[in-house]
Amino acid sequence: MRDGFIRVSAVTPKIRVADPVYNCEAVLERLREEWEKGTSICVFPELVLTAYTCNDLFHQNILLEEAKEALRRIVEASEGHDTMTFVGIPWEHCGKLYNCAACVQDGQLLGLVTKTYMPNYSEFYEDRYFTAGPDVPVDTDFFGDEVPMGSNLLFKCVNVPGLVIAGEICEDVWVPCPPSISHAMAGATVIVNCSASNEVVGKGTYRETLIKGQSARLVCAYVYANTGEGESTQDVVFGGHNIIAENGSCLAESRRFLPETITTEIDVQRLLSERRKLNTFDVYEDDDYEVIPFLLEEKDHDLIRHIDKAPFVPADDAEKSRRCEEILSIQALGLKKRMEHINGKTAVLGISGGLDSTLALLVTARAFDLLGLPRSGIRAITMPGFGTTDRTYTNACELTRRLNATLEEIPIGPSVLQHFKDIGQDPAKHDVTYENSQARERTQILMDVANRENGIVIGTGDLSELALGWATYNGDHMSMYGVNGSIPKTLVRHLVRYYADTCGEETLKAILYDVLDTPVSPELLPPEEGKISQKTEDLVGPYELHDFYLYYVLRYGFRPSKIYRLARKAFEGVYDAETIMKWLKTFYRRFFTQQFKRSCLPDGPKVGSVAVSPRGDLRMPSDAAYRIWMEELEGLSRELS
CB atoms within 10 A of CB 96: 12
Q: Under 8 Å CB-to-CB from 420, ≥6 apart: which residues?
A: 426, 427, 434, 437
Closest CA to 7 of 306, 263, 248, 191: 263
Cα 598 → chain centroid? 24
Q: Would you call 100 a catalytic residue per the annotation? A: no
Query: 458 vs 469, 479, 494, 584, CA distance in Å?
Result: 19, 6, 21, 31
14 φ, ψ (degrees, to nearest 5) = -80, 125
Q: Is 8 helix (H, G, I), strand (E, B) or coil?
A: strand
- Listing DSSP states for 236-263 in one string gives --B----EEEETTEEEEEPPTTS--EEE
334 touches 604 (CB < 8 A) = yes
Residue 144 burial by Cβ neighbours in a 10 Å radius (0-12, 13-18, 19+): exposed
CA triple 178-180-184, angle to 5 deg: 140
Cα 309 → chain centroid? 11
Q: Which of 115, 212, 585, 597 is catalytic?
A: 115
Query: 285 vs 111, 164, 212, 290, 443, CA distance in Å?
Result: 20, 13, 26, 10, 56
Q: Which of 24, 34, 42, 46 is catalytic?
A: 46
543 φ, ψ (degrees, to nearest 5) = -65, -30
Q: Would you call 146 a catalytic residue per the annotation? A: no
Q: Is 594 helix (H, G, I), strand (E, B) or coil?
A: coil
Q: Under 8 Å CB-to-CB from 372, ≥6 apart: which residues?
A: none
**DSSP secondary-structure letter at 78?**
T
Q: Would you call 54 a catalytic residue per the annotation? A: no
Q: Which of 24, 103, 157, 170 is catalytic?
A: 170
Distance, CA of 446 to CA of 265 (rounded, Å): 51
What's at 251, amino acid-wise?
Answer: L
The Cα diameter of the chain in Å comes to 100
CA triple 313-318-324, angle to 5 deg: 50
190 φ, ψ (degrees, to nearest 5) = -130, 125
27 touches 74 (CB < 8 A) = yes
CB atoms within 10 A of CB 490: 24
404 touches 376 (CB < 8 A) = yes
Supply the residues annotated as catalytic.
46, 115, 170
